[in-house]
Structure 1
Amino acid sequence: MTVQTSAKKRNIKPIDAKSPSVRKMDFEGLDRLSDYYIAGNSFVTHTVNAYHIIFPEGERFFIKSVKAFSDQVTDRGLQNRVKAFIGQEVQHGKEHEKALEMLEKKGYPVSRILKFYVKTAYSFFWPILEFLFGKKLKLSVTAGLEHYTATMGEISLRHNLHDQAEGEMRNLLLWHACEEIEHKSVAYDVLQTVSKSYLLRVFGFIIASFMFWGYAVIIQHLFILSDKNIGLKRYFADMKNAGPYVSLLWTDISKSFGIYFKRDFHPDQTGGYELANAALATI
């Protein structure tokens, strides 16, 4: 497959974890992507389609979770990072919603899948968890999910996985990955301001793990089941061909899982800022 990339160049502020920037990107041409816009592989493409479903509502969840405790943040630097974090998450949601519009036009039951996700996660599971454990758990889950998204971003950049995506989708995924790395410590630092409880941190991370990966797999397969061009033969063939990508992902994800359980862990320990800065300059 020949991966087409956009020739459009943008003047983008460099990565700065101490002072993140809100970058308004406005990606265009997503409706011109092929059905399997990542390496021509339906299994990998529908994995990313699942992220397009998860991210917009997830970004709003992150914003609410952090804003609920923003009045307890007295450090001026962290206050500014919280504002940038919120601004970046708003932009991420908007761009992924454009991808959902593209998928809707291709005939996928985006509205039904999104309704299932929102009703089960945000109208059922989260009200129960918040009632039982309070808002601090939501902040802890947000910190845990930010660790995952930053780790996935670093994996993508380190192995140039984003270059397997066509056109502006390549740039959207790359930009999102870079900003996840840039602001990866914000929710964690707010959590540490509110509570230094190790139990709260790891409990939130465990819930984040079940929720994120559970929904990612379920939604991916809802897309696959709704795709009339995928029969059992193609499903297993593309799943086999996706093996190298899955192996790269899970090898490093497994390492990141263990790192988060260290008592002295902090997101800055994993670095990745120079890598993100170099990658962002290619958009």
Structure 2
Amino acid sequence: MNGSPEAPERPIRAITRLMHPAKKREGEDTPYVEPRPFSPDCLRPRRTRFSFDLDDVPNYWVGGSPARTHLFNSINVFLVPFEEFMVRVLSDQGQRLDDPELRRQIRGFCGQEANHARAHQIFLDTLRAQGHDVDGFLHFADAMFSRVLERGLGRDLSLAAIAGFEHLTAFLAEFILDGEMLAQAPPALQELWKWHAAEELEHKALAFDLLRHVNGSYPLRIAGGALGAGIVFGFLGIGMALLFTEEGILFERRTLRETLELFFTRDKILTRSIPVMLDYLRPGFHPSQRDTRGMAERMFAQVELQVAEDVPRAA
């Protein structure tokens, strides 16, 4: 327009090939997250480094609780194929857009989700070392997301399901950042989940905004919201049940009591999620209307402080 040629835009799909975890230096066993302020209007992946020593991760690493531990273990397993599914769907949608700003945000979103998948893949090795058969569940989840959702439902309904999923994972991110459930977890796992949760809040509106841009149908949004909720709680339930069964504790009194406390009476994950899901039904709903900026900003401020404190020791 101004006579000077614009630099060619980098393809959105390239981001998943270019993102790599920060290289681990010799003697560095502490988790690392690149310090950068909360910035939902300029999404970019942060470089990270995570490693998990099997000796530091007990079988029930969340306060000695089987139910709480396998809640997070289940999320960890199904997140890997689902985040890869999200990157494929949003990348495909982004290739069809003429809006350069939205395309840039999609690249940032995909970079963050690709980074999440890599970090959780590292922890999968710890679960395998503990004797958990996670690979069968991984193959099942990947087949569901790639064949049933991606190929069977089409790109717009897949995107709507992702928008609904992101709405509920933002709620779970609040639960992680605002609660004390992980207070007794190993430090590296606390860092992993808090970093992931803060980035979920940072990009929580992107899939919704993209859906509204490509197809503003209210029935499509509601169908996607229902699918997203089904994916979250369906895979949580299946994953926890498989892990309990694997350990032979599915019908033990302690397992049943802790699971009821987790979802209904103490932590109330399911009961607290109901008003969040109902809010998604409002015609005028937008993710930004739920103010979660403060808790994400506090997390990233802690990261900056930690890194600043480590600089003199590194020097």
Partner of 1:129: 152
TM-superposed CA distance for 1:127, in Å, is: 5.6
Where is the helix percentage greater, Structure 1 or Structure 2? Answer: 1
Are 1:30 and 1:169, in contact at CA under 8 Å, matched by a contact in 2?
Answer: no
For residue 163 of structure 1, give the secondary structure of its aligned residue in structure 2.
coil
Are 1:72 and 1:194, in contact at CA under 8 Å, matched by a contact in 2?
Answer: no
TM-superposed CA distance for 1:159, in Å, is: 2.2
Partner of 1:100: 124
1:15 maps to a residue whose letter is F
Change over 3 Å in CA distance of 1:191–1:239 after alignment to 2:
closer
Change over 3 Å in CA distance of 1:149–1:245 after alignment to 2:
farther
Max radius of gyration: which structure?
Answer: 2
Are 2:82 and 2:142, in contact at CA under 8 Å, matched by a contact in 1?
Answer: no
Identity of counterpart residues, as a percentage? 25
How far, CA to CA, are the matches of 1:229 and 1:56 in structure 2? 26
Q: What's the TM-score, normalizing by structure 2? A: 0.80
Are 1:15 and 1:182, in contact at CA under 8 Å, matched by a contact in 2?
Answer: yes
TM-superposed CA distance for 1:60, in Å, is: 0.9
Confirm or deny that 1:226 pairs with 2:246.
yes
The one of 37, 62, 69 equivalent to 1:45 is 69
2:143 maps to a residue whose letter is K
How far, CA to CA, are the matches of 1:84 and 1:175 in structure 2? 16
Partner of 2:52: 29
Confirm or deny that 1:257 pairs with 2:277.
yes
Partner of 2:225: 205
TM-superposed CA distance for 1:280, in Å, is: 2.8
Change over 3 Å in CA distance of 1:136–1:229 after alignment to 2:
closer
1:52 maps to a residue whose letter is N
Q: CA RMSD in A?
A: 2.2
The one of 65, 68, 86 equivalent to 1:62 is 86
5 Å-filtered alignment, 1:141-156, equals: 141-156=161-176
TM-superposed CA distance for 1:98, in Å, is: 1.0
1:82 maps to a residue whose letter is I
Segments of 5+ residues of structure 1 without an aligned counterpart are: 1-5
How far, CA to CA, are the matches of 2:233 and 2:249 in structure 1? 25
Change over 3 Å in CA distance of 1:190–1:9 after alignment to 2:
closer
TM-superposed CA distance for 1:135, in Å, is: 1.2
1:27 maps to a residue whose letter is F
For residue 48 of structure 2, give the secondary structure of its aligned residue in structure 1.
coil
2:244 maps to a residue whose letter is I
For these two proteins, the number of residue pairs brought into alignment is 273
Partner of 1:76: 100
Deviations 1:24-75 (A, max 9, x none): 2121225321111112100111111111111011001111111121134333
Are 1:174 and 1:280, in contact at CA under 8 Å, matched by a contact in 2?
Answer: no
TM-superposed CA distance for 1:136, in Å, is: 0.5
Deviations 1:204-251 (A, max 9, x none): 11112222211210111101111257771432343355465531x234
Deviations 1:153-203 (A, max 9, x none): 012212243334222111100000000000011111111110111011111
Are 1:138 and 1:204, in contact at CA under 8 Å, matched by a contact in 2?
Answer: yes
For residue 263 of structure 1, give the secondary structure of its aligned residue in structure 2.
coil
Q: What's the TM-score, normalizing by structure 1? A: 0.88
How far, CA to CA, are the matches of 1:201 and 1:46 in structure 2? 30
How far, CA to CA, are the matches of 2:53 and 2:209 in structure 1? 35
Segments of 5+ residues of structure 2 without an aligned counterpart are: 1-28, 304-315
How far, CA to CA, are the matches of 1:81 and 1:213 in structure 2? 28
1:137 maps to a residue whose letter is L
Change over 3 Å in CA distance of 1:221–1:30 after alignment to 2:
farther
Are 1:156 and 1:162, in contact at CA under 8 Å, matched by a contact in 2?
Answer: yes
TM-superposed CA distance for 1:121, in Å, is: 4.4
How far, CA to CA, are the matches of 2:157 and 2:177 in structure 1? 30
Partner of 2:135: 111
Deviations 1:56-113 (A, max 9, x none): 1100111111112113433333222111100000000001111111000001111122
1:75 maps to a residue whose letter is D
Are 2:71 and 2:240, in contact at CA under 8 Å, matched by a contact in 1?
Answer: yes
Are 1:20 and 1:81, in contact at CA under 8 Å, matched by a contact in 2?
Answer: yes
